[in-house]
Amino acid sequence: MAVKVPQKDGVRRPKMRLWKKVLLILFLIPVALIVALGALYLVWDNYPDIRDGYNEEIKTGGEIEQRYLQFGSYATKKTTVKADDPIKKYTIYYPEELESSDKSHPMILVVNGTGGKATKYEPQFKLFASWGFIVVGTQDKNTGSGQTTITTLNYMLDENKRSDSVFHNKIDVENIGITGFSQGGAAVFNVLTKYDESKYIKAAAPLSPVSEKTTSEMTDYTYDSSKVKCPIMILAGTEGEFETEIVIPIDELNKQYDKIEVPKVMARRIGMDHDHMMYSAGGYVMAWFMWQLQGDENAAKAFVGENPELMNNELYQDQKASLGNFENKAN
């Protein structure tokens, strides 16, 4: 005769019925899938768009382009500050010497493309800061209107005034630039043309900006290039249907360039699709800001003079420049 073995607590428990086991499994499967998908999203959402050493992998077609893709002479530091949604956090890189000297530094505002956030491309911030800039970005993934960039600008201007801030009197408010990629490029135009604070922006460099036509047809952040009032350089790529037919077709880029009445430059990097334009023209972005915001005469040779490097770089096409008094000063 079989002997029934009692449970440790002396109570015999009934076995789980088969149908209950099936229901439990059916419940756990979608839960596990949700957890797995959530984990994958977090990995994707925080996977870097630009990694350390990115600048060494970019092919260059000129000495100036190569020079300004390298790190500058300044050691850098980073700070972050919590903020309200959708900004969530300010990421700020700056020259380390700022903390111990009375020198003020020019500032660059960096505007995210769709779904982007500053923490996904910090190596670019660090490179910019190594050339003597204060570099500021946010976690906003939908920047097109330009509003959060204006909020960021005002935050930094307030920090410049706040006596207990590390940035107190350290921001050169006469030399502030702005750059942005894709939707962030469109945001650059909106910052320059729709807000009173545009008076603080001395130079701009939108990268593969969503064109006026595309913003008017597909978004709620349309803009008018003709209202730009500071020197601007627009760069785009030549590859991929998304880049060349949707985001910034060459005909639309030419139309926008022609509408702008201030000093301007445009060029397209050969063989680069939309995503690669986030960083592949970085040597000239840095040279542009070094010239416009720090008066670097060597950097200026990329754009003006007898033989401007960008205008003759074989890695680019569709180059145009109309730099007015800048050209006269260089000749």
- CATH assignment at residue 102: 3.40.50.1820
Neighbours of 78 (CB within 10 A): 14
Q: Kindly tell me the sign of the dihedral angle through the C-alpha atoms of 36, 39, 45, 48.
A: negative
Q: pLDDT category, 152, cuts 50, 70, 90?
A: very high
324 band by pLDDT with thresholds 50, 70 and 90: confident
Contact 270, 261 (CB under 8 A): no
pLDDT at position 29: 75
What is residue 36's predicted lDDT score, i.e. its pLDDT?
72
- Among left, alpha and beta (phi > 0; psi -120 to 50; other), residue 215 is alpha
Q: Please state the domain count of the chain.
A: 1
- Percentage of the chain beyond pLDDT 90 is 82
Q: Which amino acid is at 134?
A: I
Tell me the per-residue pLDDT of 2-11, one tens digit each, with 9 for 90 and over. 445 455 555 5
Q: Is the pLDDT of residue 326 over 80?
A: no
Provide mean pLDDT across the span 232-258.
98
Band of pLDDT at residue 26, cut at 50, 70 and 90: confident
Bridge partners of 204?
A: 178, 232
Query: Taking 50 as the threshold, does the pLDDT of residue 198 lie above it?
Result: yes
Cα gap 242→235, rounded to integer Å? 15
Helix (H, G, I), strand (E, B) or coil at 309: helix
Integer Cα distance of 252 and 60 in angstroms: 26
Task: Judge contact between 4 and 12, C-beta under 8 A.
Answer: yes
Note the pLDDT of residue 194: 98
Is residue 21 situated within a structural domain?
no
Q: Is residue 324 part of a domain?
A: yes
Is residue 301, in this structure, part of any structural domain at all? yes
pLDDT tens track for 39-75: 666 666 667 778 899 999 999 999 999 999 999 999 9
Asked whether 98 and 105 are in contact (CB, 8 A), the reply is yes
Confidence of residue 1 (pLDDT cuts 50, 70, 90): very low
The answer to whether position 41 is within a domain reads no
The confidence score (pLDDT) of residue 58 equals 97
Condensed to tens digits (0 to 9), the pLDDT of residues 268-323 reads 999 999 999 999 999 999 999 999 999 999 999 999 999 999 999 999 999 999 99
Mean pLDDT over residues 26-37, rounded? 73
Average pLDDT over the chain, rounded to an integer: 91
Structural domain includes residue 308: yes
In a domain, 190, yes or no: yes
On whether residue 80 sits in a domain, the answer given is: yes
Residue 331 banded pLDDT, cuts 50, 70, 90: very low
Q: How confident is the model at residue 33 (pLDDT cuts 50, 70, 90)?
A: confident
Is residue 203 in a domain? yes
Residue 148 has pLDDT above 80, yes or no: yes
Instruction: Give the domain extent around 94.
Output: 63-330
Given this model, what pLDDT does residue 328 score? 45
pLDDT at residue 236 greater than cutoff 70: yes
